[in-house]
Structure 1
Amino acid sequence: MFKHTTIFHAALLSVALCSAPLAMAEEASPKAFGNQYSPVAPVSGGQAQVVYYRLPAANAQASGAHVYVDREFQASLLPGGYTAFCVTPGQHTLGAYLNDAPKYAGKNTDVYSAQLNGGMTYFLKVGEGGNAAPQAVSRSQAESELAATRQQVHALSRASHVVACDYQPMPAAATFKDYSLSGDVLFAFGKSGYADISTPGRKAISELIDQLRTEHANLEQIAVIGHTDPIGKADANHALGLKRAQTVRRLLLDGGLSASTIHVSSAGSREPVSGQCEGTRAEQVACYAADRRVVVRVDLLP
């Protein structure tokens, strides 16, 4: 993601412009930090968002790690601080430099280039070894670490390419979770009865029961939905999907799940996941394999 570029012609920062705000970076007063981190909202496709943070490590240097965006000062991160900002999509240089004062050479040396795409949020971590290269981390890892950080607010940004973030609504939390069982694993083609369940199919359902009990403290509402491919008549496909869902329900009951929590229905061939398949019947049967499935849907309790 990041490409290292050495800048041969360097200019020192003006003391009059930058030394005062950066000097404040060395002060770890309570006023240096704002709110505790909370998950950032997505941004529009016309922007890219960056969350740059520094772990509150016990062995971290007390001085600030100076963050530059396109060679201009954005923030000075003390241990346990983060900054979040937006830029237009495209190529940008990023870095966080320890021991950068008093010349602030990080603005012009060891610049790291990144292609930032529109609508994306990037999570970058400061390396405590003094290396300015951003450490790109996944959102899940970053947010588990960001929970212990606070917004860095004590130094003013001078990064002219940073723009106000055009935040979008947070996606709605899922109210259910789907577990999909392959119809071809459960049954032979066109079959649906309890006696028709294959040995691999029984094993898959047994494993699903164990997974449901592990992932959900309460299983109050479970929907079993049968799906078919579009081969054949719609009425026949609906009936086949319902019979397969009823068979899977019976096996879930055999596994000890409560009958009062499990309801069945059929989507028939109305909700395909495959594209339009062509060719001989055998080729179509193979092409539509993903459509033949039974979905076990578990309601997520608030």
Structure 2
Amino acid sequence: MTLFKISALSLVLSSALFTVQAAVKPEAYAHSYQPVASVGKTQAQIVFYRESDEHPGGANIYIDGEFQSALLANGYTTFCVAPGDHSVGAFVKDAPSYQGKATQPWRSTLEGGRTYFLRLGDGVTGLPQAVRRADAEQVLQAMRKQNHTLSRASAVEACQYTEKQFKDYTLSSDVLFPFGKSERGSLTREGDRAITELVQQIRRENHTLRNVVVTGHTDQIGSAAANDKLGQRRAATVRLMMIQAGIPARDITASSAGMNEPLVQHCAGNKAEQIACYAPNRRVTIRVDGSAASE
């Protein structure tokens, strides 16, 4: 085989490998973050997340010296354990020695019924950082759940959630904005009224508000990047209007699902027909974590 053929073959194989890797990456993530429900007194829950950093590859998360997950940047994992004394470590590039199996720098007595939020530290010492829920969820709203690895930690249990406390509400983007628009100035009269009425409904149905997440969803027309930005801008506008209508700013965040959570798929026809077909996908969802007014 000539040098030219060898080089050509290497290029083909490299391109094929790159294509496979690129195809696998989206599968590493599941749905975008939504506020986790509470667990009962027989369990403690941990939400562990990793922000963008300079370290390539996964960060191995260990619970009691056993592998739980390999977190990629902008990913999170949620797991539950029995209440009591537990250790957690988080290491980047600890193969082949897998330091996390022997070194567990963070140890705490976890209380039943509580949820703990931890984020990756420097990835070298293995020490994670504890974060207040409100601060953590400001970051988590832009993250997706990790789903490409299986836990091998014997202490980890399937989370047994109490009856969910959150409620979901939906507003049609076609009612809120003209097609492709998102600014406050483009909000329709019907959209303004719909947001005001929704806030009144939320305040009637919830005695207290712990967290409100506004998420913009788009259709499948256009690029993923453009739709992510459109969803974020629409959610931000609705958030602003809800604040002006009486929801405390500290309790409400905005995020985008872009085109990733469609209700309708595979619409065909000309652009007008596709716009009409994809209408259910264009929406803004509002998830409210609160307590019922009757409680």
So what's the TM-score if we normalise by structure 1? 0.48
So what's the TM-score if we normalise by structure 2? 0.49
Return the structure number with greater helix share.
Answer: 2
Which structure would you say has the larger Rg?
1
